[in-house]
A and B are shown apart, each in its own frame.
Chain A
């Protein structure tokens, strides 16, 4: 579904991504793990067009994303849950969800999706009129995920969904990710919590200062000595 070939990204003179290639197949849950500053978020931003790629290819189902205006990408069936949630703090929960369906013209479809997302996240339904900025971190994360699901995407990019959450909430968020995967949504997950990420993923890539150092089945990486020492604290 998503194929990245020899991607390079720079911020001015700083080379953040130095030629990575990765692939996510239909229905797969693939995670991208690595230390702070390895370039995980930059990779997702390049895919979504929030930062320009310097060279390389990013292909989503045959469409060259580097030639697609960033605001058109969601229309191709790929949603992005950004790091730090980025919910619209001064809008209500429901308005945030409606913004998620901004590109959907059919009002009955929007309503249908809204019901579906509320079904996934009952907590959001309870707080539909509350301003998003007043939600707790976990609720904001659910809102960001719910907002991304409003277009019924084929693929979702998730950036650090567990960041800053309590262990109980981390578990809750990951069980949601698992159920989305079970529903057939293709997911590219970026996480610092490598253990949790590997335990739910099919495959994973390890990113180290802008390069992919390892890749393979998540279950194998979970037991790899190098990965264990560097990212799993064992």
Chain B
């Protein structure tokens, strides 16, 4: 029972991080039908921003985690920059395939650009602690603060995002553009501006994910986002890409698969199981768990 509970919490913690990253993939995909392969690297950008700004925050007498505010801003700007410099011009001229290849190129560019910065370089950096260490006991299981914060923060962030997309004007505009660009334009919605806002939000979420991931695994390196991003992308597809609740569900599913396969089967096979789940879902329900073709009456 103790092992089970522990595994469950670990899965929820991992899943919360995946869900936040998956949201970035799914929101961008929903609005411009592009798989933004550079999204994983936004986590890396967030990670390094945290690494460099945490000491500043601490020196200013603030808690270490407040650095995430700066990381969110930096990531949002990088996301906006990537859209403006690379994706928008390509989208105007090229095909979906051109955009996809551009996304892969942006991913490699960000990783290598980071490495070229002298203060970063090829060697991993180790981040300090963000949250108070320790935890408390529940039913014989130690629940550390990092796990609790991770789950709670991502739940709150996702709730805020949901309210934002449902209740605000900009959120509604995002849903309109993702559903029907032509009709959105006829309503007076600027598609380009809405896409930029989507990039900013998605990248900002990656910074929050970076905080929580690094709180658990403090090593920061330039390809930090590659596998992490890939698995979050799998989570987005498993949940149903383009669907916001799908990304949340997919993230939790992938987190649980990872933690349970680690605890009960083999820690070296966890990634195998993650991708196995992807194949299974694609075979049984190609549009993802929550994905469906909306039937329209004529």
Q: Which residue of B lies closest to A100 (CB)?
A: B187
In-complex Cβ contact of A102 among B188, B295, B297 (8 A): B188
- Within the complex, what minimum Cβ distance (angstroms) separates B16 from chain A? 26
Q: In the complex, what distance in Å separates the CA atom of A12 from the CA atom of B172?
A: 34
Q: Which one of B100-108, B178-186, B267-275 is at the A interface? A: B178-186
State A116–B3 Cα separation when bound (angstroms): 62
A98 at the interface (CB under 8 A from B): yes
In the complex, are the beta carbons of B189 and A71 less than 8 A apart? yes
Q: Is the CB of B179 within 8 A of A90?
A: yes
How close is A180's CB to chain B, nearest CB, in angstroms? 17
- Does A103 sit within 8 A of B, measured CB to CB? yes
The interface residues of chain A lying within 8 Å CB-to-CB of B183 are: 82, 86-88
B112 within 8 A of A: no
CA distance A49 to B185 in the complex (A): 9
Query: By the criterion CB–CB under 8 Å, are A88 and B180 in contact?
Result: yes
Q: Which of B173, B176, B186, B191 contacts A74 (CB 8 A)?
A: B186
Most chain-B Cβ atoms within 10 A of its Cβ — which of A71, A79, A140? A71
CB distance from A162 to the nearest CB of B (A): 13
Q: 11 additional contacts, CB 8 Å, given A86-B183, A102-B173, A102-B187?
A: A71-B185, A72-B188, A79-B186, A82-B183, A82-B186, A88-B175, A90-B294, A134-B297, A136-B297, A140-B297, A151-B188
Chain A: residues with CB nearer than 8 A to chain B? 48-50, 69-75, 79-80, 82, 86-91, 95, 98-100, 102-103, 133-137, 140, 147, 151, 164
Task: For residue A84, give the distance in angstroms from its CB to the closest CB of chain B.
Answer: 9
Chain B residues within 8 Å of A102, by CB:
169, 172-173, 187-189
Whole-angstrom CA separation of A98 from B175 in the bound complex: 13
Contact with A along B281-298 (1 / 0, CB 8 A): 000000000000011111
Q: List 20 A-B contacts (CB under 8 A).
A: A50-B182, A50-B185, A71-B185, A74-B188, A75-B188, A82-B183, A86-B186, A88-B179, A89-B179, A89-B294, A90-B294, A95-B172, A99-B173, A99-B189, A103-B187, A133-B295, A135-B297, A137-B297, A140-B297, A147-B187
Please state if B180 and A86 are interface contacts (CB–CB under 8 Å): yes
Residues in B with CB closer than 8 Å to A99 are 172-173, 176, 187, 189
**How far apart sit A73 and B190, CA to CA, in the bound complex (Å)?**
11
- Decide: B298 and A88 in contact? CB cutoff 8 A: no
Nearest chain B CB to A97 CB, angstrom units: 11
B288 to chain A, nearest CB (A): 16
Task: Collect the chain A residues with CB atoms within 8 Å of residue B188's CB.
Answer: 71-75, 102-103, 151
> Which B112-156 residues sit within 8 Å CB-CB of chain A?
none
Min CB–CB distance B284 → chain A (angstroms): 24
The 3 closest A-B pairs by CB, nearest first: A103-B188, A86-B183, A74-B188
Chain A nearest CB: distance from B267 CB in Å? 41
Which residues of chain B have C-beta atoms less than 8 A from A80's C-beta? 186
Q: How far is the CA of A86 from the CA of B294 in the complex (A)?
A: 14
Query: B190: which A residues are within 8 A, CB to CB?
Result: 69, 71
Q: Which bucket holds chain B's interface residue count? A: 20 to 34
- In the assembled complex, which residues on chain B have CB atoms less than 8 Å from the CB atom of A87? 183
For the complex, what is the distance from the CA of A72 to the CA of B188, rounded to whole Å? Answer: 6
With known contacts A88-B176, A88-B180, A89-B179, A70–B185 Cβ distance under 8 A: yes
A70 to B181, CA, bound (A): 12
Shortest CB-to-CB span from A78 to chain B, Å, is 10
A103 contact set on B, CB distance < 8 A: 187-188
**What's the minimum C-beta distance from A9 to chain B, rounded to whole angstroms?**
16
Closest chain-A Cβ to B156's Cβ sits at a distance in Å of: 25
Asked if A86 and B297 make an inter-chain contact with CB atoms under 8 angstroms apart, the answer reads no
Shortest CB–CB separation between residue B287 and chain A, in angstroms? 14
Complex-state Cα separation, A74 to B187, whole angstroms: 7
> Which has the most chain A C-beta neighbours within 10 Å: B179, B188, B190, B297?
B188
The listed residue with most B CB atoms (<10 A of its CB), out of A86, A100, A136, A164, is A86
Q: Complex Cα distance A74/B182, Å?
A: 13
Find chain B residues with CB under 8 A from A140 CB. Answer: 297
A133 contact from B169, B173, B185, B296, Cβ within 8 A: B296
Residue among B175, B190, B294, B298 with the highest chain A CB neighbour number at 10 A: B298
Q: How far is the CB of B167 from chain A (nearest CB, A)?
A: 10
A50 to B176, CA, bound (A): 16
Give A134 to B295 CA distance when docked, in angstroms: 8
Question: Bound state CA distance, A102 and B188, in angstroms?
Answer: 7
Q: Which chain A residue has the least Cβ–Cβ distance from B179?
A: A88
Q: How far is the CB of A173 from chain B (nearest CB, A)?
A: 15
